[in-house]
Structure 1
Amino acid sequence: MSNELVTEVSAEALSHKLAHARSLPWFRALYPRILEVQELADLNRLPVLAVEDESGGGLFTALGEASHRAPGGGLTLTSGGSTGNRKQISHSWAFNAAIVPLGARMFGATDERPEVAINCLTAGEMQGAFQYASAIVRHIGARLLPAGSQMGVQRVAELIQTHKADALICTPSFAAALFNHERVGAVQLCSLKWLYYIGEPCSKTLRDQLARDWPMLNIRSLGYSSTETGPIGFQCAHLEHGSYHLHADAMLLEVVDPLTLQAVAEEETGEFLLTPLLPDHVPLLRYRIGDRGRILRTVTKCACGSSMPVLTLEGRVETSIKLGGALITQSQVLHVLRQLLPQLHATDVQVQIERQPEGARIRLVLAEDILTADTQSVIEDALQVEGQASALLRLPGLLGLEVKRLARQEFETTLAGKTPFFVTFEQTPAPS
């Protein structure tokens, strides 16, 4: 698809999206300025939408409720609220049908066609990726083993061996647990040719280890996507990890300064705001996904034949992180801790994530002047049984939680001298 055609298609789709939004009385009541938005240049007149917005998530909740009431049915994805505020949304069946060919774009015209794929993503609740991955496998004509993430890695390894599965679809956390399990080895996994990951970034540590120990395994992202928006970008065989072709005919992506929410200069790094262009029950406009990166518009045509712009992911905004395929926000962490320490402030806490080949460990660092030595073990024990914290620790690839007291000056800082809420450490795997 040429750049001119992509621009034409996206402009027409945005026009339909805005017209749909203006036609809905309940949407006009929530977003009165939608009447002023006629084209792309007007879009920044609308507020930014997020699961946890200035209205306490009220806008997103209203959109979710409206999507449930819409005629024609659809796929409802809902969280139990165990790792944060409940969120839910229903996508129309037309939307769900449209996202599958977008997801299959990653295969393009290449000969890369798995014959037997095992789907080890989490099924249920907000994990729409399980259905999405299964539909892509069907679209390309492969055979599917819908194992899920809760089956257990040894049973998954048995299925791979029995069915000679050549493709594994899972989160990087699940892959780390599978390939590093002491009772799983080359005999069970030797048929695998491709690892397709989704749900969180695949760390360089894990990629290096798999490249060293499993040199015949090709590692690629299944796509850049979110449950709320659908597919955002696809990674062809010619792009590096963290880079994707933007589905520019189906997704409008703004890159803004995370503080001012104003557009950054071309090719500069900023926070992503997403406006899906596919028809759906509700118009999701300027959705704040929590990722930051940039769009490389100087890439005119990729070796795969696509002329879609290339976006590069450069991490999360400081207030959120992905673990085990789940999104963890600063406000979620503080909500849990304030049940135990009501006067706690964000500056009193740092969440340190130590990523290892077999998974990730969480170190919850609290300033020693607000946490006494006597209460440290009490807090640690309480977090093992508290609903949100224990749900987090049950996620695939999470190895444990430690509470630590430190002087404030010993918190980890950035090169710029700032103290981030989330810090990630990569552990270099030992040579075999």
Structure 2
Amino acid sequence: MPEAPAPGTELVVRSTRVVTPAGIRPASVMVSVSRGVITDVVGHDAPVPAGARLEDLGDLALLPGLVDTHVHVNDPGREHWEGFWTATRAAAAGGVTTLIDMPLNSLPPTTTPRHLEIKREAARGRVHVDVGFWGGAVPANAGGLRPLHEAGVFGFKAFLSPSGVEEFPELDLGELARAMDEIAAFDGLLVVHAEDPHRLAEAPPCGGPRYADFLASRPRGSEDSAVAQVLALARESGVRVHILHLSSAGALPLVAAARAAGTRVTAETCPHYLTLTAEEVPDGAAEFKCCPPIREAANQDLLWRGLADGTVDCVVTDHSPSTADLKTADFATAWGGISGLQLSLSAVWTEARRRGHGLDDVVRWMSARTAALAGLERKGTLAAGRDADLVAFDPDASFTVDPAGLQHRNPITAYAGRTLRGVVRSTWLRGRRIHRDGSFTGPRGHLLDR
């Protein structure tokens, strides 16, 4: 007997390669556009309900929209670095349908409920994808974290070393412990940039265009030490903690051991750590500068092993753009941040495929687990009742990255000239198409609360 069509279905998206929680298979995804949800995922040849529109993708893969929980939009205040309009267009073009904006690099930073409302006002009506917000944990606001939590932020970001902007200072270990205790009291989430400032101070100073000098100034030991300190304090407080942009494979055993001992810890890494290596960074090429840095190929192999065995939970961009004048040839003074929001899926898929991973792995790392991290229960997978955030992806096509063709406000990227595999053909947000082959509809994104 043919499967009965789900009631309320107005759109059917069909593909021979649908990435479902049960694996990749031919299927039809039934969508209620009026409600913005998936009504069912059924067999490939299931009947199309009367009045519903069929979108047959053929052999294009159908993925759930990616959830990027680590994006610096920089708006308001530094919107000339990026901005909600350009960042969310880049996201849509890259298959990202939900992003969580970091609390720093905007002016003001998102460290109070009032600052959060200023951020929302800057974003309202200008987002092409769904957008949520992290709060910030800084020395002056430990007592104000609960009101910020109640105002709807998804968690709190803290630095252990200087952030790079004066208005978002780092926490010392005593301040970090106090923030952990406060956040644990309301069962919130703390996400941490973990580099030990004392180990950084002991490292050789960086100056000039040599990437090797910059890399030596941000040693793996600074990450490993900071991660150990964070994990020790998290074990004492019971707080849920997440290690941001892990680049040192030396911290992987620390995370695994802490988790096995009952510490509530997760960890992420980034496309640039998984696809770029220190050996290939040209001297003076500050588009490759980020903190912590891109490390050697042998370290990258270990990061992939940690991702495969589950020690590393997810992959996010840490998209941190700037204007070209801030990317000077001197690694000591250049802005540290990789611009890669639009390219993240293709970059990760290119290397994942080479290493024998499937699209279902990439979706797990970049959608299902990131949605779980942020508590976005309606995002991250193709299943009945979830938001109909869909991506038509050609995993076999390839392209050469031209920075001028990206939607980012400033055409600067470490991926320039690289050939990547996998092209996003269409993106839907809650059942409505927002992007097709470089063309966009108007902004349809929602501002999300935790």
Same fold (TM over 0.5): no
Question: Which structure's relative contact order is higher, taking Cα pairs within 8 Å and 6+ residues apart?
Answer: 2
TM-score for the superposition, normalised by structure 1? 0.26
